[in-house]
Structures are given as C-alpha cells and as structure tokens.
Chain A
C-alpha cells in the first residue's frame, strides 16, 4: 500500500426519504463539500453489485451508512471480505461487495464500515434528527484527517479504536474523541 497516496472511495448510502436513514448520503455530501484530493465520493440508496468495479479501482473504501443500534455518535470497523451468500439486487452487504471485488477483479481494497447512529427511521421525511445531526458532524470530524493524510495504515489503526462523545464546550457542542479499545 502506498503510504500517503491511497486512492480512497467513500460511499454514503441510505434512503434520504426515511429521516435518519439518509445519514450515509448526507455524510458523503458533507465530505464532498470539502473537495479533498484523491477521494472519490459516491452516494446511493443502496449498494449494488456493479459497485464492485468501482471498489476494485481504489485502495481504501469507506462504506458510510446509518446505524440503528451502535452507541452515539458512530461506529467504525474494518471489514473482511465475506462470501457467505445472502444477496438480491435489493441488498448487498459491504463485506460481500469487497469479496466480489477481490474474487472478480483481484482487488486488494481495504474496506471500513462507518455506521452513524440514527434515531428516527419510522416516518417519511427528508430531515435528520438533532442527535443524528450531531453524530453526523462528529463522523465528519473523525474522517477528515484520515482523508487528508490518505495513509491506508491509518484507516486500519483507527479501526481498533472507538469513538465516544463528550460534551466539552460552553455552547454544548460535542467533541469526538477516539480511544483505544
């Protein structure tokens, strides 16, 4: 892996019409706005099998999705390619996509799942709940330094840490701090 020059793909996926399920695309758009070099941004409602071709063109792939159960503000973990087969064209899991990229395109791409904790999914609507919005901001602050440095090893190093939220400032803003697990 080329230290400091990794080609990075960030895929934010989810349904923006189902409130916090839109966290993945919202995250991707927030990162896109920063116009970081060497980072490709994609958004979609769901992952598709043809995304494997795009995954194979990158060294590091971050799959950003809403998470319905992890602690606030987000979870971040390394993915291992998985060939256990549970697949329709509706749904394909990031680990399965990595396995297809590996098996079809000989891709060594590393994958990471960034699950941003959402709280409201049950209604129709194109807004993000207040707590989910804070989680989104924390996730952007977390990922930005990694995307700036583009060192594949750093993505992996961060995957063995966890993120916690601590209210730190006078105005109630929250700061994300990573701690070793």
Chain B
C-alpha cells in the first residue's frame, strides 16, 4: 500500500502473521505527524456466557474450543480450576508430570511456530524487505535447513501433546483431579529418539534470537520499547514455572509489586477496564490503578520476573539475557523473541528430564477431596498468564466464568508499542510504504498475540491498518488476503 501526503488515517486490516482478527488505525495531523495509533480487536466471542449451564466436568474439554492455537493451555488451566472443584488439586506425581509434559510440549511447539514461521522473515530479511520473500517460503529458499528444523521442532511438540492428551488438538488427557493415562514405554522411547536433536536445534534457536537482539540492540531499544511492569508465575523458590506457582509482579526497575499472590484471590490484585473502541478488556494491577497499572505478560515478562530458571542451559541463557540490561528488567519489545527462545530451550530441557522420570509410567492417576463451588486456575500459556475462574451451583453446573487470557493482559503494551513505532517510523513521511506499515505489525507480532481468544467469534480470524485524514475520511486501508 502507498499513501500520499493528502492521506491522514492509516488502517492496517487485518494485521497479518498474528493469531486472530484485529486492525490498527493511525491518525495523522495536517503535517503527517502521528497523533494517535490504536490496535482494535474486532471480534466478539461471548465464551464466558456460552459456558454457563454446562456441567463442570466438561470444562477442560469444552474450553479448548476457544481456539485451535493454544488449546492445551485452556485445557490445563480449566483442569487446574476443576481440580479444586473436586478437591483434587494435590495431584499425584504421575498426573502432574504428565500434564507438565503436555504443557512443555505445547510451549515448545507454539514458540517455535511463532518465531520461525511468523517472525523470522522480518528478522532475517528486514522489516521492509520485499514482501514476496518476507515469508516462510523465503526462509525455505534462503535457509532451507532452518525451514526443516522449524517443521520438525513443531512436530515434536505436537507429538508430546498427542501422547499425553490423546490428540494433537483438543485432547482429553487432563480430567478432574488428575490425568486419564500415563506414558507408555513405547511413547517415551518414541519421543526420546528425537530428544538430542531437539536440544541442539533449541540451542541454535536461542543463538539466532540472541545474536539478532545484541547486534541490533540500539534499533531494538528504540523500537516500540517502553518501561513497564511485568507479571508471571514463579515457583516458591522464585524459579520460572510455566505450570504452577504464585503470581509475581515487578515494576520497571525490578521492584516487587506483589509476590506469590494467592491465585484464588486474583481479583484482589488484578482488575479489568473496558474501553469503547475495542472488544478486548484492559487489565491492570489494582494497587496502581487503571492509568498506570497495566503490565506485560509472556516470555519477556516471565524471564524478567523470575529469579532463575531451574534447567542449566536455559539458566545460562537467562543470565546472558539479564546481563544486557545489567540485571534490571529488559523492557525492549523485540527482546520478546530472545526470551521466547530461552523458553524453548527450557521446555526442551524439561521434556528431556521428564522423559527420564519413571513417575510417568505410574499407575496412580487421580485424586479427589472435599468439593468446592468456586475455583480459580492460573498457568503460564505460551503467550502469558492465563486465568480461569468458575463458580458452580448445587447441580454442578457453571453459573459464572471469567477468563483473562494473556493477549488481554498485553493489550495496553501492544497499543503502546504500536503508538511508539508509528510515531518513530511514520511521522512526517510523505509516502507510507508497505515496508513502513510492516514495522507496526512487527511490533505487534513480538507479543505473539492470539486475538481470537483474547476477545470474548468463531470462524475467520484475520487483522486490518487504516489511514484517516483530519476530517475523519478513511484514505487508505489494507486487508488480509491482499497481496502483501
């Protein structure tokens, strides 16, 4: 797309290579200076209402229908809440480790897909490279081994899910108070045969992301970056924990805002604000307030918030990551990619560790205890912290459901990033090229947003950018499916 000096509002619709349907509008004044830029989420889902009246034991299976991208995250988060509803939150070792294997498999494949297939064309070819090559086919042509790696890594993660959940998508492994199967020796050996290769490729992925960030540090520091608070789950000893733990929030300097929050009382710590121009809510830390209480979640926030990582290679990578900002939280938006690849390595190490753990062949799969009528489940989905909150009645039917998904928590940060990039790269330009507009999308992609489950529609999930003049006329727009 090309816009002239007469144009005043840019609309990118849909934003491409993200999960879901959204649009960006950029308002320019008469001098083509960016006045405002916003990411709008234009789907409305209604899942929280739809689920009312369903029996609680259906939740871990039914919530996966939120979308096909991170069904395992919804499956496990709902299962964690339902565990509490049946008094079975203290899982058996076999049940917890099977669920962890499923979860690390999900994180591994999700991060790999995002980095290699959706983002690496921007990083390896340049944000304004020819769009004809700035895609997965361009990667396959110029970096064929990388193309293969990405596919086999994604496949490996999916197989971890299949052997634990029963299916690659919308599995049924986690049940109230446990898991419905253990890992057979054949399944274990099937995964183990590729483990060394996955470790090697994971190390390589970290190196690509690290080298890119370090070599482009000055650009990255000024690319949609800003100070923010960070939120993520940590284990009791402060270690990164993607499956279980207490929520920790730190400010831009690393000071603790809250730590090991009681997950059942999350509403004492987190609230959500509604804005008229987006279907997506804006969560914030209550003690700070809606104006400044917004925060980031996801790989960058998690690596910033944790004290250490309990797997040696990922911990070494985390220390290198922290050294770039002298141990202070890293607030560079593009550093999400490096943090994400550290989590790929961590997930691979965890999978390897689990595959050598005999507990996975245990027979004790389910526990139950005193039932409850209300429960909250929280875990770290690939994109960030995920909250599931349910209430049930005496007939075991759901009467209330509240979901805060990771992309919702990153709503304000994504808007901050879009505004920052628009002001830096689009302001005063006489011609708005496709490459310039892709800069906006690069900033959004860093968050790996899943715009579909972040709203409260089944079906089409693409993103739009709009250019509007100072009289409100739409001058230009882009839509997914257009040749860009």
Per-residue 0/1 for B62-88: is the Cβ within 8 Å of any A Cβ (1 yes, 0 no)?
A: 000101110000000000000000000
Tell me if B1 counts as interface (CB < 8 A to partner A): no
Near B by CB (< 8 A), chain A positions 86-107 give: 86-91, 99-100, 103-105
Q: Is A138 an interface residue (CB 8 A)?
A: no
User: Judging by beta carbons under 8 Å apart, are A104 and B147 in contact?
Assistant: yes
Chain A's closest residue to B169 (CB) is: A45
CA distance A87 to B169 in the complex (A): 18
Contact across chains for A44 and B151 when beta carbons are under 8 A apart: no
Closest Cβ–Cβ distance, residue B154 to chain A (whole Å): 4
Question: Is A129 an interface position by the 8 A CB rule?
Answer: no
Interface size on A, residues (CB 8 A): 24
- Interface segment, one of B3-11, B134-142, B317-325: B134-142
* B151 close to A50 (CB less than 8 A): yes
Cβ of B17 to closest chain A Cβ, rounded Å:
6
Is B137 a contact partner of A53 (Cβ separation < 8 A)? Answer: no
Contact with A along B159-170 (1 / 0, CB 8 A): 000000000111
Given A88-B19, A104-B147, check contact A83 B137 (CB 8 Å).
yes
Are the CB atoms of A50 and B17 closer together than 8 Å? no
Contacts of B69 in A (CB 8 A): 89-90
Contacts of A90 in B (CB 8 A): 19-20, 67-69, 452, 461
B158: contacting residue among A48, A52, A88, A103, CB under 8 A: A48
Query: Which DSSP category, helix, strand, loop or mixed, fits chain A's interface?
Result: loop
Chain A residues with Cβ below 8 Å from B140 are 100, 103-104
Looking at the assembled complex, report how far the CB atom of A68 sits from the nearest CB atom of chain B, in whole angstroms: 11
Residues from chain A with Cβ under 8 Å of B480 in the complex:
86
Give min CB distance, A149 to chain B, whole Å.
31
Minimum distance in angstroms from A69 CB to a CB of chain B: 15
**Cβ of B472 under 8 Å from chain A:** no
Chain A, 47-81, contact with B by CB distance < 8 Å: what is the 0/1 string? 01110110000000000000000000000000000
Q: Are B18 and A88 in contact (CB under 8 A)?
A: yes
The verdict on B258 contacting chain A, using a C-beta distance below 8 Å, is no
CA distance A83 to B110 in the complex (A): 22
| B151 A17 Cβ-Cβ under 8 A | no
In the complex, the answer to whether B118 meets A50 with C-beta atoms within 8 Å is no
Q: Is the CB of B135 within 8 A of A88?
A: no
Cβ contacts under 8 Å, B148 to chain A:
104-105
With the chains together, A53 CA to B156 CA distance in Å? 12
The reply to whether the CB of A179 lies closer than 8 angstroms to some CB of chain B is no
Q: How far is the CB of B155 from chain A (nearest CB, A)?
A: 4
* B429 touches A (CB below 8 Å): no
B481 interface residue (CB < 8 Å to A): yes
With a CB–CB cut-off of 8 A, which chain A residues contact B170? 45
- Tell me which residues from 74 to 113 in chain B have a Cβ below 8 Å from any Cβ of chain A: 110, 113
* Contacting pair A53 B117 (CB below 8 A): no
| A49 in contact with B168 (CB, 8 Å) | no
A179–B134 Cα distance when bound, in Å, is 43
Evaluate whether A46 and B147 lie within 8 angstroms (CB atoms) in the complex, with A88-B118, A90-B452 already known: no
A121 nearest in chain B by CB position: B459
Question: Is there a chain A Cβ closer than 8 Å to B371's Cβ?
Answer: no
Closest approach, in angstroms, between the C-beta of B159 and any C-beta of chain A?
Answer: 9
Q: Are B483 and A87 in contact (CB under 8 A)?
A: no
Q: How far is the CA of A88 from the CA of B445 in the complex (A)?
A: 11
- Assess whether A49 is in contact with B136, with CB atoms less than 8 Å apart: yes
Contact A89 B155 (CB under 8 A): no
Query: Is B226 an interface residue, CB under 8 A from the partner?
Result: no
What chain A residues lie within 8 Å of B461 (beta carbons)? 88, 90-91
Q: What's the nearest-Cβ distance from chain A to residue B197, in Å? A: 14
Q: How far is the CB of A76 from chain B (nearest CB, A)?
A: 25
How far is it, in angstroms, between the C-alpha of A105 and the C-alpha of B148 when the chains are bound?
8
Of listed A48, A53, A89, A103, residue having the most chain B CB within 10 A? A89
Who on chain A is nearest to B170 by CB? A45
> In the assembled complex, how far is the CB of residue B437 from the closest CB belonging to chain A, in whole angstroms?
16
Contact B17–A104 (Cβ < 8 Å): no
Q: Report the bound CA distance from A46 to B168 in whole Å.
A: 11
Q: In the assembled complex, which residues on chain A have CB atoms less than 8 Å from the CB atom of B114?
A: 89
How far is B461's CA from A53's CA once the two chains are assembled, in angstroms? 25
Q: Cα distance A17–B68 when bound, in Å?
A: 13
CB nearest to A44 among chain B residues = B169
Chain B residue numbers with a CB within 8 Å of A89 are: 19, 69, 110, 113-114, 117-118
List B contacts of A105 (CB < 8 A).
148
- Return the contact of B117 from the options A49, A84, A91, A103 (Cβ within 8 A): A49
In the complex the two chains form, what is the Cα distance from A69 to B452 in whole Å? 25
What residues on A are CB-neighbors of B481 within 8 Å? 86
Question: Contact at A53–B17, with CB atoms within 8 Å?
Answer: no
Q: B144 at the A/B interface (Cβ < 8 Å)?
A: yes
Roughly how many angstroms separate A100 CA and B136 CA in the complex, as a whole number?
8
CB distance from A16 to the nearest CB of B (A): 9
Max count, chain B CB within 10 A of own CB: residue among A45, A50, A99: A50
Q: Contact flags (1/0) for A104-139 with B, using CB distance below 8 Å? A: 110000000000000000000000000000000000
A48 to B110, CA, bound (A): 12
Question: Counting CB contacts under 8 A, is B152 at the interface?
Answer: yes
Task: Rank and list the top 7 A-B pairs by shortest CB-CB distance, nearest first.
Answer: A50-B155, A85-B135, A103-B140, A104-B147, A50-B154, A83-B137, A104-B140
* Interfacial residues, chain A to chain B (CB-CB below 8 A): 17-18, 44-46, 48-50, 52-53, 83-91, 99-100, 103-105
Chain A to chain B contacts (Cβ below 8 Å), 6 pairs: A83-B135, A88-B462, A89-B114, A89-B118, A99-B137, A100-B137
Question: Apart from A48-B168, A50-B155, A89-B19, what are 12 other A-B pairs with CB-CB below 8 Å?
Answer: A17-B65, A45-B169, A85-B137, A86-B481, A88-B16, A88-B20, A88-B118, A88-B462, A90-B20, A90-B461, A100-B147, A100-B151
